[in-house]
């Protein structure tokens, strides 16, 4: 999430009760979690396993629970509970805002667009030109929908991320991280009925120009989908996935978190993806493998009884 304007580090330190170490004259431009950090961002870390990763990431400022060396030009904000400090900042700059109407007065809807009765358009939503939103669809706060988009009935765009801070030494093991990101749907996208697209934890979930979704598809938080992709029904994409341009996912494909599928890959029905996949190839199976190789393996598996009988018969 980008702040409305740069925020001074001394103000942030006072706001969260942190000790400021390092470049105290700087200003933060946004807050992000580690998968999406950019220069100028705040990030938090509360486990020694990830200290080095966060400190040496693109993030300029680190909310942390231990004083340690800090690279030149960066700063540490030292607090007892970095997660709670992160949540306080996120909730301050992206607070909960009640919806008073089915279509918020703060929403901007472009010329020629049509919103069916029963659709909900949240606060600060932007919808482009000649877009159609069908009944019982919800476009949640701060989401952006482009021109010539079609979103069929019952779809939810911008639901909270399924993303929790986990600590086994407290009564409630799972604490939800506030979702202060958005969903951005680019021009000429079509989304079927009953789809769910989670907004980013702190960045954006993005659906690229010209991409088409069938019904009952789930897209996890912070996932970036390229241009002209085609997804059949029941596809499930976990969080922080990158799917490059021109990818085709057939029915019931499941993609694990934080991986990349290369451009123009084709995944046949019911493929399970557990690692990065090279573009320009066709995959099948769980775990996903080259479809030709998978078919040949099945042929040989079916021949095992025949081969066994020949061996035992000698």
Distance of CA 26 to the CA centre of its chain: 29
Q: What is the DSSP string of 145-202?
A: E-TT-EE-TT-EEEEPP--EEE-TTSSS-EEEPP---EEEE-TT-EE-TT-EEEPPSS
CA distance readout (Å), 146 to 29, 128, 240, 252: 25, 5, 22, 27
**Can 221 be counted among the known catalytic residues?**
yes
**pLDDT at residue 289 in the model:** 92
Mean per-residue pLDDT for 207-227?
A: 98
Sorted by sequence, the CB contacts under 8 Å of residue 150 that are 6+ apart come out as: 131, 132, 134, 189, 190, 191
143 pLDDT band, cuts 50/70/90, is very high
Write down the H helix ranges in the chain: 9-16, 51-55, 82-93, 291-302, 304-313
Catalytic residue among 35, 124, 218, 221: 221
Q: What are the phi and psi torsion angles at 300 (to 5°)?
A: -70, -35
Structure token pair of residue 194: 């009953």
Residue 314 confidence (pLDDT) above 60: no
Give pTM, 2 decimals.
0.92
Integer Cα distance of 235 and 270 in angstroms: 9
Domains of the chain by start residue, with CATH = 2-93 (3.40.1390.10), 108-294 (2.160.10.10)
**pLDDT at residue 21 in the model:** 92
Residue 93 confidence (pLDDT) above 90: yes
Integer Cα distance of 108 and 54 in angstroms: 37
Structure token pair of residue 133: 């939103």
């Amino acid at each position: 999430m980008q702040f409305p304007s740069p925020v001074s580090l001394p103000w942030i330190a006072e706001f969260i009760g942190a000790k400021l170490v390092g470049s105290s004259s700087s200003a933060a431009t946004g807050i992000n979690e580690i998968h999406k950090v950019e220069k100028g961002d705040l990030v938090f870390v509360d486990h020694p396993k990830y200290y080095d990763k966060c400190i040496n990431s693109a993030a300029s400022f680190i909310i942390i629970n231990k004083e340690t060396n800090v690279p030149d030009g960066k700063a540490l904000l030292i607090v007892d509970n970095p997660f709670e400090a992160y949540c306080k900042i996120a909730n301050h700059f992206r607070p909960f805002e009640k919806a008073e109407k089915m279509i918020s007065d703060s929403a901007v809807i472009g010329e020629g667009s049509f919103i069916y009765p029963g659709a909900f358009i949240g606060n600060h939503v932007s919808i482009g030109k000649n877009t159609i939103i069908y009944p019982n669809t919800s476009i949640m706060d701060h989401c952006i929908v482009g021109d010539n988009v079609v979103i069929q009935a019952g779809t939810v765009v911008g639901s909270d991320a399924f993303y929790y801070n986990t600590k086994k030494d407290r009564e409630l093991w799972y604490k939800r991280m506030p979702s202060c990101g958005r969903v951005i749907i680019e021009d000429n996208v079509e989304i079927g009925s009953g789809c769910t697209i989670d907004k980013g934890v702190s960045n954006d979930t993005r659906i690229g120009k010209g991409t088409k979704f069938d019904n009952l598809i789930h897209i996890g938080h912070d996932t970036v989908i390229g241009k002209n992709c085609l997804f059949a029904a029941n596809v499930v994409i976990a969080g922080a996935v990158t799917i490059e341009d021109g990818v085709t996912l057939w029915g019931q494909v499941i993609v694990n978190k934080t991986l990349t599928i290369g451009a123009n890959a084709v995944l046949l029905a019911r493929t399970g993806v557990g690692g990065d996949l090279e573009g320009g190839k066709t995959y099948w199976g769980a775990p996903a493998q080259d479809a030709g190789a998978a078919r040949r393996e099945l042929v040989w598996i079916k021949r095992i009884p025949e081969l066994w009988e020949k061996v035992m018969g000698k």
